[in-house]
Structure 1
Amino acid sequence: MAALGEGPAAGAGFFPPLSAEDEEQLPAEIESLCMACYRRGVTRLLLTRIPFFREVIVGSFACSSCGWTNSEIQSAGRIQDRGVRYALAVKSRQDMNRGVVKTDSATARVPELDFEIPAFSQKGALTTLEGILDRAIAGLEQDQPDRRKTDTEVAGKIDRFISKLKGLKDVESAFTFILDDPSGNSFVENPYAPQKDDALEVTHYRRTAQQAALLGLEAEGSEEDSADSAEDLRNEVLHFSTNCPECNAPAGTNMKLVQIPHFKEVIIMATNCDSCGHRTNEVKSGGAIEPLGTKITLHVTGPADMTRDILKSETCKVQIPELEFELGMGALGGKFTTLEGLLKDIQGLVEKNPFTLGDGSCPDKAEKLCAFGRKLQQIVEGQMKVHLVLDDPAGNSYLQNVYAPEDDPELHMERYERLFEQNEELGLNDMRTEGYEADSSSHR
């Protein structure tokens, strides 16, 4: 029997795309020991790839003797470059039906009740917000009969707290649900996609040393080693092995430092998978964060604008006001492409939303996505005039001026002072780069 990941097409075979119409995508069944009655039960494992998300392993156990069941979900992909934090303002009963992907390393909190589900205290789950609360209630109720016999006071306090959790399910009053995952592999559904959800705030952040250690990640190298490595890359293309982000098969990635005319130095990384044919490129800034943020606004007037070069950094937000569309920081990563390529990537991103596919999808949501895709196609074909806004607080994004060195009448660039929240998201508030020499002298 071949080992997992062996051969060029192993990843594609083990992680087929998730599809409601694929009847051949059946889970593997393994006979297992039931930990409740110690008899034989059945474990079912489904290795699949959720579109717009990543590879996951869905597992469930059922015992026909005692009726005990259990289920969990595990991420089969890599740990993301940044952690993610979702803050959802729950105001109606409909919010309880939002899809939630909660990994083992995620922490769930409700500040109004001072309630927290710590990381690694529960198995990962693909569920809803109501399912998260049901799981917490079931865990608290599990030992209540024994507590009522041994400690009635503690049992009474837990009963009152369970009643408050059940009140959250009925949304008797508005509350905040926070899902914080340093691995970056958790997710909370936006039912209004592709429009922005005002009730949902998504923040990507850099992990602390404690969070990295909790995830089993090695400490980063010194700044001097990083500077030496960057210097060596200036005159050569670096090739290293990795896994394909689509099929998880072994693939190769090329990395090169490139100087963009009239802009700055960037790092371009390109991945090519011989197994499934997937190709992708990602761009990261090779310089420092700029002192001022940059907001670039382009009035798209025709098909000729589709050939403009665009450098979208991973800290850049993309907005199309006429469509009430906003693409947050971190989405699509860094890209060096054309305006047409960026619009095609956005179109593919919103069409593959897993919560609008399959039997559980809502026809209204699917129709909204189709209508949004048609409007994007009209922009590409020059049938609709819109404004494209690139808002990058790090100042590392770029949009080509086709009239250079003259001013572009359809292109407007604005530099602005970053807000405290933007500096916090970029990790600049706690960064200190001056005064070390004075501190060293005072300690001598």
Structure 2
Amino acid sequence: MAANSEDIYRNLSADDYEAAPIVVESVCPNCEENGETRIMCTAIPYYKAVILMSFECPHCAYKNNEIQSGEAVQEHGNELVLRVQKQEDLRRQLVKSEYASIEIPEIELTIPSKSQPGEVTTVEGVLQRVHQGLSQDQEKRRLLDEESAIQIDAFLKRLEGLMDLKENWTLKLRDPTGNCYIQNPDVRHVDARCIISHYHRNLEERKMLGLAADDEVEEETLAPAFESYEDAKNEVLHFGTSCPNCHAQTSVNMKPTDIPFFQTVIIMSLHCEHCGYKSNEVKSGGAIKPQGCKLTVRIEKDLDLARDVLKTDTCAMRIPEIDLEVGGAALCGRFTTIEGLLTATKEQLDAQSSFFMGDSAENEEKAEVTNFLTKLDDIIALRMPATIILDDPTGCSYVQSLTAPLDDSRLDKEFYTRSYEQNDELGLNDMKVENYGELENLAEEDEEEGESTDAK
């Protein structure tokens, strides 16, 4: 009978004597004598299942520790950009897999994927590991290649300057498995110095993760042609893809549809016939609106919790009564209800606080987070009135009105002009939209002149 995943990845407990590590004899990479590798499979909140490995050689005292994710590869890769400005940023806990790459642009440092094992460390620990790795052979370099040793000494001083925060610097963490995290010091508020984004893996990353064959080539998917936009709305499109759970070939169904009193949205659905995995996603089908939109919903009745909500990837959420701020990238775009949005927020905050608040956390901090989650439960159970503010700079988020097309007394809409920073984040400042037709005509004329010159 196949083993249950709960039996393999056990929660660590002082009373659980069966959760002893597995001891495997293995060769020491330092002296090539036999040592021992201890393997422990456990489950920790938010990072879920992990495999802990520790090697120790009794002959040369060499030690090595490693952590690997026991979870399946996520549907999308993720990229985190942290602006390190304070001492608390250096103390942030960081989780990375062996496939993650790290970049620090200020000192032109790049740590490629699969060059380091997966680990749970801190932001400062990343610099310390690089510093330790470059320092260990410096005495030999000074004898064999003095010029290289001098350059490395200068680089080590720059590393020490970053650890002492003599200047602000940026840490970029990109993980195609989607299993990397950087701690948010205050889970109730938007992390102003850390930007999280999700992306579709390219072919090279899929090959590295074993999700694509080595001889596979990128194929262009051509969308079917329709005579009119209305024909596209009446047709369900099918696109071939790999299942994010079992990696078998399946298809994604996509169909545009209209939301009454709003705009067109694109519904995407995946159902794998091999493993039964299901995934649903909703994207805004319209262009970025000329103005941003702020939607304010007052939760007073059961009907308010049942309102439909379309939240885009750029939409931020705020609840003033409990001092909660959630950034747009924290929760992916989704079509749900007010209750579903609150429940998803609570689950994510609960998971983050459980993982990053271990035995070393202060009791006051634990009590504060517990009290905060209790208040969120009270809002969902209508024991506490609250106001949800959805702020979307693209203007493409939507909250159902209970009295449409008339005004809703518990739903307010406010349109505003985006700032330069918001336009820059959306990529609007770099778009050339003026005189586009004239530029296109000039390009066609130049092409015709070139053809006539070649003919002559």
Shorter-chain TM-score category?
0.7 to 0.9
Mapped partners of 1:298, 1:242: distance in 2? 37
Scaled by the length of structure 2, the TM-score of the pair is 0.76
Q: Residues 398 and 178 from structure 1, CA distance in 2 versus in 1: closer, same or farther, beyond 3 angstroms?
A: same
Match of 2:142 among 131, 137, 148: 148
Structure 2 gaps of 5+ residues are 449-456
The amino acid of 1:185's aligned partner reads: N
Q: Residues 235 and 97 from structure 1, CA distance in 2 versus in 1: closer, same or farther, beyond 3 angstroms?
A: closer
Residue aligning to 2:343: 344
Residue aligning to 2:328: 329
Indicate conservation of the 8 Å contact 2:183/2:356, yes or no.
no
Look up the SS of the partner of 1:404 in the other structure: coil
Indicate conservation of the 8 Å contact 1:260/1:266, yes or no.
no
Spell out the pairing of 1:14-413 with structure 2 (5 A cutoff): 16=9, 19=12, 23=16, 24-53=18-47, 55-75=49-69, 76-78=71-73, 81=76, 83-92=78-87, 94-103=88-97, 104-109=99-104, 111=106, 114-120=107-113, 121-169=115-163, 171=164, 173=166, 175-181=168-174, 183=176, 184-198=178-192, 200-204=193-197, 206=199, 219=218, 221-222=220-221, 224=223, 231=232, 234-235=235-236, 242=243, 257=255, 259-263=258-262, 264-269=264-269, 282-285=280-283, 287-292=285-290, 293-353=292-352, 354-413=354-413
Indicate conservation of the 8 Å contact 1:54/1:77, yes or no.
no
For the pair shown, which has the larger CA radius of gyration, 1 or 2?
2
Deviation at 1:225, TM superposition (A): 5.6
Indicate conservation of the 8 Å contact 1:312/1:334, yes or no.
yes
Q: Residues 391 and 401 from structure 1, CA distance in 2 versus in 1: closer, same or farther, beyond 3 angstroms?
A: same
Indicate conservation of the 8 Å contact 2:310/2:397, yes or no.
yes
Q: Deviations over 1:402-426 (max 9, x none)?
A: 1112111221223344455545545
RMSD over aligned CA atoms reads 4.2
Structure 1 gaps of 5+ residues are none
Mapped partners of 1:365, 1:280: distance in 2? 37
Look up the SS of the partner of 2:367 in the other structure: helix
Look up the SS of the partner of 1:173 in the other structure: coil
Deviation at 1:63, TM superposition (A): 1.7
Identity of aligned residues (%): 30
Indicate conservation of the 8 Å contact 1:356/1:365, yes or no.
no
What count of residue pairs does the alignment treat as equivalent?
426
Q: Residues 158 and 256 from structure 1, CA distance in 2 versus in 1: closer, same or farther, beyond 3 angstroms?
A: closer
Indicate conservation of the 8 Å contact 2:44/2:355, yes or no.
no
Look up the SS of the partner of 2:152 in the other structure: helix
Deviation at 1:317, TM superposition (A): 1.6
Look up the SS of the partner of 2:223 in the other structure: helix
Mapped partners of 2:430, 2:204: distance in 1? 17
Q: Residues 152 and 268 from structure 1, CA distance in 2 versus in 1: closer, same or farther, beyond 3 angstroms?
A: closer
Indicate conservation of the 8 Å contact 1:204/1:425, yes or no.
no
Deviation at 1:175, TM superposition (A): 2.7
Q: Residues 211 and 39 from structure 1, CA distance in 2 versus in 1: closer, same or farther, beyond 3 angstroms?
A: same
Mapped partners of 2:224, 2:267: distance in 1? 17
Mapped partners of 2:51, 2:418: distance in 1? 41
Deviation at 1:309, TM superposition (A): 1.7
Mapped partners of 1:283, 1:317: distance in 2? 18
Deviation at 1:333, TM superposition (A): 2.1
Q: Deviations over 1:254-291 (max 9, x none)?
A: 8564543333233154779999x9x9864321624333
Mapped partners of 2:242, 2:14: distance in 1? 34
Indicate conservation of the 8 Å contact 1:86/1:188, yes or no.
no
Indicate conservation of the 8 Å contact 2:251/2:270, yes or no.
yes
Look up the SS of the partner of 1:342 in the other structure: helix
